[in-house]
Amino acid sequence: MTARVILQVFDQYQKARVSFVQTVADLASRPQNVDCLENAGVLDLLRPLLSDVVPSIQQTAAIALGRLANHDDRVAQAVIRRDIMPQLLRNIDKQNKFFKKAALFVLRAVAKHSPEMASVIVHGGGLEAMVICLEDFDLGVKEAAAWALGYVARHNKSLAQAAIDTGAVPLLVLCLQEPELCLKQISASALCDISKHSEDLAQIVVDAGAVPFLAKAISNPDPKLKRQVLSALSSIAKHSVELAEIIVEAEVFPDVLVHMAHPDDNVDRAAANLTRDVCKHTLELAQLIVNTGGIGALVELVGTSKSDSRLPAIMALGYIAGHSDQLAIAVIGSKGVVQLAIVLQEETEDHILSITAWALGQIGKHTPEHAKALAVADVFRKLLELYMAPRSSEDLKAKCKGTMKQVLQKCMHIEALEPLLCDAPPEILKYIIGQFSKILPNDARARRMFVTTGGLKKVQEIQAEPGSMLLEFITIINCCFPEEIVRYYSPGYPDTLLEAVEQYQPKCPSVFTMDQKMSDEFSNSSMSLLHYNEERG
């Protein structure tokens, strides 16, 4: 009887511990409960349960800690301060798969908050534990380890280098070859987090043989895997010409371009990012993108997407057009300028408007023909509006000014230049006047139009500093017209005319003289008529 009572007490104690950790784990899954649980001292109660004799209690306690740390960085710091990490990592290679996954979840939850917390994980042996788990037979353990590695490596170059130094990259490449879809996704994401920091780290990923397996995974129908793979390839290609060429040699194009029409916004954005990061390097790489139909795919994405997906596509169009005038003509021919002009009109986000303004500058900077394409699309007026708008960011204003400076100096389309005369500030006006000084001396029709539309009058109203380029341009323009026309449209000339009228001394005969002359003429006429009648009578 006594033994049964004693065993019942221990049984109740075990059930109470199980109930406690399960309830805490459930409560910790909701962010609004975290502060209350922390104030109640839950960390101090969970810590000894990590060493409980019952494996399920250990695992559930670790899950509860991971959820708490995942929601709040203060709790994550408290987990570090209470030396919970050494308990989790002790003999992790001998633990069962459930505890391994729970422990790796805690490591990931702590490491995600900041580089400093991730460094604590690294110095505490966390990376070595992750690598051990990457070699585990269980796919779920491998997945948890790859996920934790990515969260450490994403912060900065030194943490990514630490992950490489522990031998993680070859194991991640092996994980890419596993049949488990989720493991493929997380491994690709971890490789992206490692390679994005520098060319050296990206080269290590390439040397480990990751590119062929990443390229092959693009054809997988899963959208999340597509996104992770495209992002990983992009993080490699962006660093140098050589790495971009390796990506191209893996024959990912034109498949990447097809994915810019994918219904998932994350996939089309990742495809546009990869296209941008390849074509930005050299004319040859940009030409390859163009030859596989890249411009049409990019323009379509800009036109159909209403999210940030259009941003890398706009940048890619700018990079392509910036390499050569022929590629810029190809962008114009594919209605790229028209579509970018629509973005300027409809978009409200300053960062997208800034990139659009820059891309238009890359298209129009080459020749008068390129500049005319922008003029016909009414781009100058919209750029000027954005430049003058008080709400525009400094970056947007700088991009608009840079584009107008580049393109206006090439523009010979007078119909587009004249409307800008009235609204342009002095820093933009000098480029417009400079173009008129090039056009008017050689074009009689343009000179006539310049007068009739009020352009000459506006030029005379400009106050230019002596010795400035603006004054020199105005002088050249004035020399294109007769002196009396220039004088007529000069400010104050009507007042001068009125003063001349007031001061003019009439030189016509007096009224008395005119009246006497008319009287004499009348008398002479009467006498002539009288003599005529006498002769007839």
Domain, as residue range, for 351: 253-411
Residue 475 lies in a domain: yes
**Residue 351: count of CB within 10 angstroms of its CB:** 13
Integer-rounded Cα Rg, in Å, for the chain is: 40
Claim to verify: residue 349 and residue 481 sit in the same structural domain = no
Distance CA 314, CA 299 (A): 8
In a shared domain, residues 280 and 385? yes
Residues of the chain with pLDDT under 70: 1, 492-537
Residue with tokens 């710091």: 77
**Do both 407 and 258 map to the same domain?**
yes
- Tokens representing 254? 């034109």
pLDDT at 447: 84
Q: Domain tally for the chain?
A: 2
| 336 and 465 belong to one structural domain | no
The answer to whether residues 286 and 393 belong to one domain is yes
Q: What is the pLDDT of residue 273?
A: 95
Q: Which residues of 283-303 are buried (b: 16+ CB within 10 A; e: fewer)?
A: eebbbbbbebebbebbbbbbb
User: 7-26, pLDDT tens digit by residue?
Assistant: 888 888 888 888 988 998 99
User: Residue 421's closest CA among 383, 459, 447?
Assistant: 459
Dist. CA 429–CA 417, nearest whole Å: 10
Quick one: pLDDT at residue 313? Answer: 94
- Is the residue at 402 inside a domain? yes
Q: Token digits for 163?
A: 């992950």
**Exposure string over 239-267, b if 16+ CB within 10 A, otherwise e:** beeebbbbbbebebbeebbebbebeeebb
Q: Which two tokens stand for residue 88?
A: 């989790």
Quote the distance between the C-alpha of residue 174 and its chain's center.
Answer: 34
Residue with tokens 């009572």: 5
Tokens matching residue 332 = 């114009």
pLDDT at 489: 75
Question: Are 355 and 472 within one domain?
Answer: no
> Do 334 and 450 lie in a common domain?
no
SS3 content of the chain, % helix, strand, coil (to 5): 80, 0, 20
- Cα torsion for 302, 369, 371, 280, to the nearest 10°? 50
Omega before 254 cis (within 30°)?
Answer: yes
Q: Are 68 and 32 in contact (CB under 8 A)?
A: no
Residue 532 CB partners (closer than 8 Å, separation 6+): none
Query: Are residues 471 and 402 both part of a single domain?
Result: no
CB under 8 Å to 300, separation ≥6 — which residues? 260, 261
Task: Check whether residue 433 and residue 316 sit in a common domain.
Answer: no
Residues 259 and 404 in one domain: yes
265 and 399 part of one domain: yes
For the chain, the straight-line distance linking the first and the last C-alpha, in angstroms and rounded, comes to 180
Residues 279 and 342 in one domain: yes
Burial 101-117 (b: 16+ CB within 10 A, else e): bbbbbbbbbbbbbeeeb
Choose one of 411, 432, 453: the last residue of a domain.
411
Tell me what pLDDT residue 53 has: 86
Identify the helix (H) or strand (E) that includes residue 194: helix 181-195
Give me the helices (H) in 31-83, please: 34-39, 42-46, 55-71, 73-81
